[in-house]
Structure 1
Amino acid sequence: MATAAPILRTPAGGGEELFVPSSMGPIKVQVQWAARGGRAALYVLDGLRAPADHSQWTTDTDALRQFAGDNVTMVFPVGGRSSFYADWYRPSSTNGQATTYKWETFLTSELPAFLERYGVSRTNNAIVGASMGGNAALTLAGRHRDQFKFAGSFSGFVHPTYPLWNEAMRAAMWDEGNFNVDDMWGPAGDSAWSRNDATEQAESLRGLPMYVSTGNGRPGPLDVPHGIGNTVNAMALEAMTTAATQMFRDRVTALGIDARIDIVDGTHTWPYWQEALATARPMILDALGAR
């Protein structure tokens, strides 16, 4: 288990696995240290089926390679499947969950305090996420503007309060671990739903550099290796994120809030999120002053 002693500068380059204390118990976090010991950090959030032993960003994309020469520490929290990276009301009542998910607290308090002991800044960070992590990246950044200077959502469900979408989330969370959505944010209409809806909370993002992307649901060459069955499922999921992204785009446009929003050819799968991260990379480095 890695431990940290107070130092003045982050390690320069290389990777490490940390175990970070939290109210949920020790949380594994994979990091790739800033190439030249810089203090900026990029938090990268997983999707609904987040594995317990690694971030899929580190195995299913070239994210580590993309930023290997950059002066920003990559931070990959591990675990949290079906959590939507939120602070839940209580443990899930349908699968024997022992502790209450408190992912917002972890990402915005416990983890940055731990990383600060390695020299990582608590106030010069970016946050991006795919699928489940996309909406969370936006809402967390909106509520914690002192911590995050950039936010990115890739195929995120960025409007969960849209009618009946809570039922779609209920089905997805039941499929991935028998989690109960009511234990997360209560029944539809509870204030927690609006609080965790990037479209409803768009005003909190004013002035924040953002990149929001989604596919249009049409399969392309990047889908072929994943098989026809996976592609059909990925098309259906991306149809929902396309609609959500369009509503988010209409909302920020009406409010006069600047954001780069791309709807590209593609489906709900990792190769497209790898491309989205590559597109976001120069924006992230500029926002953090990490070139």
Structure 2
Amino acid sequence: MSLLLPLCVALSSNAPTAEAAFNPTGIDVWARDANGFNLKSRVFRARDGNTSRVVYALDGLRARNDLNGWEIDTNVAEALVNANINVVMPVGGENSFYSDWIAPSNAFGSSGSSSGSSQTAPYRWETFITNQLPAQLAAQFGFSRHNNGVFGLSMGGSAALMFAAYYPQQFSYAGSFSGYLNVSAPGMKEAMRLAMLSQNGYNIDAMWGPPWDPRWLRNDPFVFAPRLRDNGTRLYIASGSGIPGVHDQPRSLIDVYNTANGMGLEAISLINTKAFQLRLATLGYGNVVYDFPPVGTHSWPWWADNVYRMIPDMSNYING
């Protein structure tokens, strides 16, 4: 229980919040998901106008319905488009792990839509990102549906690896920053359950079923790692140490709380990520860049730094 409580806190509050920083260069793209709901994504066009180099940027557990966290809290879109990479930022998917759920969440609340803790239809994010969204992007912009990149932080980190594992033609590159890459480890399932309940009352059994359901194994990067090896996916795997650094300068009591929470969260992420690193090593897979800086907490400035360091490597692997 001593591990479970801090892990729950960490998972349920993946970074200090900030006011939306709308980027006027972004284009709103709407596509209808498998449930018939219109979902928004934000697209940032590559500086040179190409349509072959495309990357999807996935959000964390507290994904909002107005803008993707990468747009709210970072300027990575500017760096990516200047590297002649088209950026796709799906909007929404709070607590979803970007997966297809087996049932609507029915714990608390009554949102009456595809998002919220009492849903009229189950999440269908995996199908959306691999079917309806790329089809819309191809029709609207001519974007390639092959050899794309995908990266994400925390919840989005494990989801990025999932997409690369099961959809290798679409995704040839995947990056995970502070991801939870061993969700079958002791305490992880229970902590995720509590975290999702605390984040607007989502019922985790509606996602992958009870803890013994095989869907948990299907969505565990530690378990599906052989697929990444067999696909030859280029990976960028990163996690900080949990030790505060230049981006962590608390000026108030709430800042102190957020920094302390981010320290614990990142330490747990590092344990998960190191376990995944060992797993890949036992599989004999080395087509990976590991990024383990000596400092860094679970917060947006550190994840932005991950992207800046990743861009040169990713550029070599996402030509459609």
TM-score range, shorter chain: over 0.9
- The alignment partner of 1:199 has SS state of helix
| In 2: Cα distance, 1:64 partner to 1:250 partner | 32
Higher deviation after alignment, 75-84 or 278-287? 278-287
1:26 paired to 2:38: yes
- The alignment partner of 1:170 has SS state of helix
**Which residue is 2:244 aligned to?**
219
Partner AA of 2:204 in structure 1: V
TM-score by length of 1: 0.92
Instruction: Quote the RMSD (CA, aligned, Å).
Output: 1.5
Partner AA of 1:272 in structure 2: W
- Residue deviations 1:29-70, cap 9 Å, x none? 000012222122100000000011001101211111211323
Given that 1:61 and 1:270 are in contact with CA atoms closer than 8 Å, whether structure 2 keeps it comes out as yes
2:289 corresponds to which of 257, 260, 263: 260
**Which residue is 1:112 aligned to?**
134
**Which residue is 1:237 aligned to?**
265
2:120 corresponds to which of 98, 101, 114: 98
Percent identity reads 40
* CA deviation after TM superposition for structure 1 residue 154, in Å: 0.3
| In 2: Cα distance, 1:283 partner to 1:289 partner | 12
Partner AA of 2:243 in structure 1: R
1:16 paired to 2:23: no
- Residue deviations 1:103-134, cap 9 Å, x none? 10001111111111120001121000001100
Given that 2:180 and 2:272 are in contact with CA atoms closer than 8 Å, whether structure 1 keeps it comes out as yes
1:191 corresponds to which of 195, 208, 214: 214
| In 2: Cα distance, 1:257 partner to 1:202 partner | 9
5+ unaligned residues in a row in structure 1: which ranges? 1-13
**Which residue is 2:9 aligned to?**
none
* CA deviation after TM superposition for structure 1 residue 262, in Å: 2.1
**Which residue is 1:271 aligned to?**
301
| In 2: Cα distance, 1:76 partner to 1:216 partner | 27
2:156 corresponds to which of 120, 133, 141: 133
1:284 corresponds to which of 291, 306, 314: 314
| In 1: Cα distance, 2:40 partner to 2:160 partner | 19
1:247 paired to 2:284: no
Partner AA of 1:227 in structure 2: D
Q: Give the number of the structure with larger relative contact order, counting CA–CA contacts within 8 Å between residues 6 or more apart.
A: 2
| In 1: Cα distance, 2:124 partner to 2:81 partner | 30
TM-score by length of 2: 0.84
| In 2: Cα distance, 1:93 partner to 1:109 partner | 26
1:71 paired to 2:76: no
- The alignment partner of 1:163 has SS state of coil
**Which residue is 2:233 aligned to?**
208
* CA deviation after TM superposition for structure 1 residue 221, in Å: 2.0
- Residue deviations 1:151-192, cap 9 Å, x none? 000000111111220011111111111001111011112111
1:134-213 residue pairs with structure 2 within 5 A? 134-206=157-229, 207-213=232-238
Given that 1:82 and 1:177 are in contact with CA atoms closer than 8 Å, whether structure 2 keeps it comes out as no
